[in-house]
Amino acid sequence: METAKEASPVYFSDLRTKQGKGLLDKLGKLAVQAGLQKINFQRKLVALKVHFGEPGNLAYLRPNYLAVLVKLVREGGGAPFLTDCSTLYSGRRTNAVDHLQAAEENGFNRLAVGCNVIIGDGLKGTEYRQIPLHLPHCEAPKIGSAIVDADVLISVTHFKGHEMTGFGGALKNLGMGCGSRGGKLEMHSASKPRIVEKNCTACMVCIRACAHDALRLNKDRKAEIQYDRCVGCGQCVALCRFNAAQVLWDESAEVACQKVAEYALAAVHGKPHFHFSFLLDISPNCDCWDLNDRPIVSDLGFLASADPVALDRAGVDLVNQASPLLDSALSEAGWKDGEDKFTALHPKTRWQACLDHAERIGLGRQRYQLVKVG
């Protein structure tokens, strides 16, 4: 039995409501009791890191929840903004213009939420700052500039399954989500980019942008990487509009999870941070898909903690303790009573590696004490 001293408190609110005490009231109460307002927000720029959801996906967080947290930050004297960094793969969130449009379509706007959206890594995902933490895998993670510049970071996460990390929780939201496109390349890939010649239009954009003079046009007028000069920064992948400069998705599941933990540590480095996780619409896959499958368990509640590792551990435990919805992807995955649901859904993933590594590098602890908030 862990003592409270050894364990990080994780605050939990269930979803029962009564007249005058709706879900938004319960979220506000949870945030206050969990200690959000102990952070000094006075005149601080406060980033609320959220996944806006790929259009077509309906499992992403409702903007109404963000509005509650934005209001609390404003009451504390802070200047909140919502943020996310652009994606590495093709879709509706690969650059700031498309990403902002997607966020608007999904309801993340000033009217609904009460603050602006700022894409963390700039127009084309090339605006980042390196955080030199000298970690076992990532020497200096590349974090979106707007997130580095923020004075306070609050992660607001929709908890669900994930194809790469087993489950998508606070560490995934912070690590993969705050990484620039080049940072995402570093997490996903063990090797440098490649050029798919048939897609290359010889537009020269990557060649002009490569800071290491590692790209040139070959005799067939296709971009070519000189690997002895390439440092794997990912800039060419971020800039290529023709999907010719591509990532090799070849990192091992365990190392990829450990890199996510290292990026999460870099995202919160040197600033107050706080974390919320919403165990709602717990779909088997990430909100990056333009659809969402039936949840694997019923809606469970809200979690809040100053410790993102404890928060994720509590989230995964609560889902694994919950009764399964057997007409979900769990049945197709052959899940059996007592098994870890996320490993059953995504057998090649290693979510435990992310939590273990996060603990090892000092981001938080997996031991937690669940504090129920009425």
List of residues contacting ligand SF4 (CB under 6 A): 192-193, 195, 200-207, 210, 212, 214-215, 223, 225, 230-236, 239-240, 242, 244-245
Nearest residue (CB) to ligand SF4, 146 versus 195: 195
Nearest residue (CB) to ligand SF4, 133 versus 203: 203
> Are the C-beta atoms of residues 156 and 65 closer than 8 Å to each other?
yes
**Cα separation of 137 and 243, whole Å?**
27
**Least distance to ligand SF4, CB of residue 86, Å:** 16
Tokens of 173: 């939201």
Q: How far is CA 168 from CA 25, 69, 98, in A?
A: 26, 21, 23
Q: Which region holds residue 324: left if phi is over 0, alpha if psi is between -120 and 50, else beta? A: beta
Tokens of 304: 């809040």
Counting Cβ atoms within 10 Å, is residue 168 exposed (0-12), middle (13-18) or buried (19+)?
buried
Counting Cβ atoms within 10 Å, is residue 221 exposed (0-12), middle (13-18) or buried (19+)?
exposed
Residue 120: how many CB atoms within 10 A of its CB?
30
**Least distance to ligand SF4, CB of residue 174, Å:** 24
Nearest residue (CB) to ligand SF4, 85 versus 233: 233
> Are the C-beta atoms of residues 247 and 238 closer than 8 Å to each other?
no
**Cα separation of 67 and 146, whole Å?**
20
**Least distance to ligand SF4, CB of residue 273, Å:** 30
**Least distance to ligand SF4, CB of residue 198, Å:** 11
**Least distance to ligand SF4, CB of residue 125, Å:** 12
Nearest residue (CB) to ligand SF4, 15 versus 204: 204
The DSSP result for 223-286, as a single string, is EEE-TTT-----HHHHH-TTS-EE------HHHHHHHHHHHHHHHHTTS-EEEEEEE-S--SS-
**Least distance to ligand SF4, CB of residue 222, Å:** 7
Nearest residue (CB) to ligand SF4, 85 versus 280: 85
**Least distance to ligand SF4, CB of residue 127, Å:** 15
What backbone phi and psi angles, to 5 degrees, belong to 119? -75, 125
Nearest residue (CB) to ligand SF4, 8 versus 235: 235
**Least distance to ligand SF4, CB of residue 250, Å:** 15
Nearest residue (CB) to ligand SF4, 75 versus 250: 250
> Are the C-beta atoms of residues 177 and 60 closer than 8 Å to each other?
no
**Least distance to ligand SF4, CB of residue 321, Å:** 44
> Are the C-beta atoms of residues 234 and 127 closer than 8 Å to each other?
no
**Cα separation of 82 and 102, whole Å?**
13
**Least distance to ligand SF4, CB of residue 196, Å:** 8
Nearest residue (CB) to ligand SF4, 144 versus 295: 144
Nearest residue (CB) to ligand SF4, 223 versus 310: 223
Nearest residue (CB) to ligand SF4, 97 versus 217: 217
Tokens of 199: 């897609």
Nearest CA to 321 among 305, 340, 307, 335? Answer: 340
